[in-house]
Amino acid sequence: MAEIVTAEELAREQEPRLITRHTFGVRVVHWWTTLTFLYLILSGFALGYPRMAWLLDVMGGGQSVRFVHPWVGVGFTVGLVFMFAMWLPSMRFHSVDRHWFRNLGEYVRTGHTDTDTDKFNGGQKAYYWFSVINGLVLLITGIPLWLPDLLPREWNLAARFSHHVFFLMAAGFLVVHVYLSTARFPGTFRSMTSGTVSRAWAAFHHPRWFRRVDAGREHEGAD
């Protein structure tokens, strides 16, 4: 006699089996830096570009933005420190990353390489190190803009110029980061919301990490 299966049970059966990629704490840190950085970028555009100055009004007025921006910068830096620490073990470059970078062209064209990628691929590791260093430079060059009495005028002007350059780089790479993790690769964004990915996604994009998790050698989602 055939087993009776309800529609609900059938749907659950067909749902891809999931594994945890980012734990709750990791996701909190990630979204903390996301929100603070988004504020910093928008207010940065508002302060740096006369044609974007209308954003100052939208964001509570120029005086508020001038007051809040540095403090949000401090908040972002705190998030960045946690981010640096929590991902450092996974972000060290290994020999497989060289293979990934050699096949960067293929990755751009097809969205895939046959690299035996670990939890993060070469590009993700590069973005991590870029973000850490860039965040540090933005902090250092931001201090003279926050407290202009500390340094001579010429240093303040140089700091403002550098702050702008590194801000543009950060904004640029952020577009790439968001694009790749949302539109380009379906199934990726959920790793930062529910924290899970499908087994197919993990095996396809991060085979080396998948095998470890699959064999139970790594606690799911541990960093």
Q: Is 93 in the site for other proteins (CB under 8 A)?
A: no
Sign of CA dihedral 63, 69, 70, 71: positive
Inter-residue contact 31 to 23 (CB < 8 Å): no
Both structure tokens of 109: 């064209």
Q: Which of 27, 35, 199, 220 binds other proteins (CB under 8 A)?
A: 199
Q: Is 94 in the site for other proteins (CB under 8 A)?
A: no
Nearer to other proteins, 29 or 127 (CB): 127
Residue 86 CB, shortest distance to other proteins, in Å, is 25
Closest by Cα among 126, 115, 122 to 97: 122
Residue 30 CB, shortest distance to other proteins, in Å, is 21
Q: Is 179 in the site for other proteins (CB under 8 A)?
A: yes
Nearer to other proteins, 29 or 141 (CB): 141
**Separation CA 52–CA 191 (nearest Å):** 33
Which region, judged by CB under 8 A, interacts with other proteins, from 26-34, 77-85, 107-115, 122-130? Answer: 107-115
Q: Is 89 exposed, middle or buried (0-12, 13-18, 19+ CB in 10 A)?
A: exposed
Q: Is 157 in the site for other proteins (CB under 8 A)?
A: yes
**Separation CA 143–CA 110 (nearest Å):** 42
Binding residues for other proteins, per CB under 8 A? 16-17, 47-51, 53, 56, 61-63, 65-67, 109-112, 114, 116, 145, 148, 153, 156-157, 160-161, 164-165, 168, 171-172, 175-176, 179, 183-187, 198-201, 203-205, 207-208, 210-211, 214
